[in-house]
Amino acid sequence: MTCTSASEKPILGIETSCDETAVAVVAGGRRVVSSVIASQEQIHALFGGVVPEIASRQHTEILVSVTEQALQEASSTWSDLGGIAVTNGPGLIGSLLVGVSSAKAYHAATGLPLVGVNHLQAHVSANFADVCDIPLHEADLPAICLVVSGGHTDLMLLRQPTQYELLGMTRDDAAGEAFDKAARVLDLGYPGGPAVSQAAELGDPAAFAFPRPQVADTLDFSFSGLKTALIRQVQQLSPQKQGRPSAKHLDRQTVADLAAAFQAAAVDTLVRNSMEAVKQTGVARLAISGGVAANQLLRERLSHQCKLAGVAFHCPPLELCTDNAVMVAIAGYHMLRTREPDNLNLDVFSAMPR
């Protein structure tokens, strides 16, 4: 059943799956009316990674104010909205609980329809936003989608905005996770992806020969071997052979070369499988999303390969690659158009007298 009344009004999206507290208002499933993101990056940088307990506490402290700011910037009140969409997994359980609980409370107070959104579906949906250089439209589908982030590396066939077929996935580490681990080994800081990419700018990707892992007869990914190859190379180069592998004793150029070689191997793997998915399915359209989709080398390589193959290429702007609520609102919009709201098991409230 299509919920036309909800789809005619803007959707409020809430994202708290990890360490970004984000709220956005999106109209028509693509027009970004407002988007507010409160990052916890500086807090977690002290620990070299996200601390779940700290992340959830931060969400609790600021989500209400972030929501109010998003509504204010959109010049909207709750009565102007057509629905609420919230990320309900996958992610850090404590962080998700804050967002979902808040969305349930807003639903109970306003009566607005509520939908829970899968985090990966949301990332793909970022490509529909009007702020993309080349926005994806429903008429463009089907499309191959590469979702590449800290926790996921998946290839999907997108048939409709809410209809997916999984083509390939990581067997071990996600690409973003591998970048984070590489940054720790190379002592480059947090977050790992941007740190490795920045160091690689001064390096020679041909200085070291790292493997391009391939899972035979599938479109699946594997990055654990690449990570191990980096660790072993650092151990061989470091005068400190015992204990945790560390690049602290290596000169700056060697670290840059290691970062460049690692990044090149990871990007080659992502590009190879993505273009193979295009070839196997015959779908001449490729979209990317997720935090690692902000990697400039990956964007350039995929754009180039798509151009050579006559394939349309879509990628969100950098601010919509990392976790945000615009993508959640867009996914929620399409869900409300095609089915009843789920209200996240809160049907009891709709039966209560008002």
Q: Is 165 helix (H, G, I), strand (E, B) or coil?
A: strand
AA identity, residue 263: Q
AA identity, residue 200: A
Give pLDDT tens digits along the chain (354 positions).
344 444 589 999 999 998 899 999 999 999 999 999 998 887 887 777 788 899 999 999 999 999 999 999 999 999 999 999 999 989 999 999 999 999 999 999 999 999 999 999 999 999 999 999 999 999 999 999 999 998 899 999 999 999 999 999 999 999 999 999 999 999 998 888 999 999 999 999 999 999 998 898 999 999 999 999 999 999 998 876 556 677 778 899 999 999 999 999 999 999 999 999 999 999 999 999 999 999 999 999 999 999 999 999 999 999 999 999 999 999 999 999 987 788 776 543 333 333
pLDDT of residue 2: 40
Work out the number of other CB atoms within 10 angstroms of the CB of residue 220: 19
Rounded to the nearest 5°, which phi and psi values hold at 182?
-65, -40
Q: Is 21 helix (H, G, I), strand (E, B) or coil?
A: strand
Q: How far apart are CA 127 and CA 288, in angstroms?
A: 8
Concatenated DSSP letters for 45-56? HTTTS--HHHHH
Residue 102, token pair as written in the block: 């808040």
Tokens 């690449």: give the residue.
226
pLDDT of residue 109: 96
Rounded to the nearest 5°, which phi and psi values hold at 141?
-70, 150
277 in Cβ contact with 306 (< 8 Å): no
Q: What is the pLDDT of residues 109-134, one digit of tens each?
A: 999 999 999 999 999 999 999 999 99
Q: How far apart are CA 254 and CA 204, in angstroms?
A: 9
Work out the number of other CB atoms within 10 angstroms of the CB of residue 170: 22
Tokens 């104010």: give the residue.
65
pLDDT of residue 256: 97
Query: How many CA atoms are closer than 13 Å to the CA of 115, on its beta-carbon side?
Result: 29
pLDDT of residue 232: 93
Q: Is 115 helix (H, G, I), strand (E, B) or coil?
A: strand
List, in order of start, the domains of the chain with CATH numbers: 4-132+321-350 (3.30.420.40), 145-314 (3.30.420.40)
pLDDT of residue 347: 41
144 in Cβ contact with 350 (< 8 Å): no
pLDDT of residue 351: 35
C-alpha distances in angstroms, 302 versus 9, 43, 271, 274, 278? Answer: 36, 33, 6, 8, 12
pLDDT of residue 47: 79
Q: How far apart are CA 347 and CA 342, in angstroms?
A: 8
Tokens 């000169």: give the residue.
251
315 in Cβ contact with 338 (< 8 Å): no
**pTM for this model (two decimals):** 0.90
Question: Measuring CA to CA, which residue among 86, 96, 94 is closest to residue 17?
Answer: 96
Q: How far apart are CA 106 and CA 67, in angstroms?
A: 10
Q: What is the pLDDT of residues 185-230, one digit of tens each?
A: 999 988 889 999 999 999 999 999 999 988 989 999 999 999 999 9
DSSP, res 143: E
Helices marked H in the chain — which ranges? 4-7, 41-45, 52-73, 93-110, 119-125, 175-185, 192-200, 224-237, 252-281, 296-309, 326-338, 347-350
